[in-house]
Amino acid sequence: MLISEVHGDVEVVKVGYEVKGRVLYWVYLYYYKGILFDTGCPHTAQEVFDYFKDREIKAVLITHYHEDHIGAAKLFGEITDVYAPPESLEILRNPPEIPEYRKIGWGQPEGFEAKPVSDT
What does pTM read for this prediction?
A: 0.93
pLDDT in tens, the chain (120 residues): 999 999 999 999 999 999 899 998 999 999 999 999 999 999 999 999 999 999 999 999 999 999 999 999 999 999 999 999 999 999 999 999 999 999 998 999 999 999 999 877
- pLDDT at residue 19, rounded to an integer: 87
Angstrom distance (rounded) from CA 44 to CA 15 = 7
Angstrom distance (rounded) from CA 97 to CA 6 = 35
Angstrom distance (rounded) from CA 61 to CA 82 = 6
Question: Quick check: helix, strand or coil at residue 43?
Answer: helix
Question: Which amino acid is located at 37 in the chain?
Answer: F
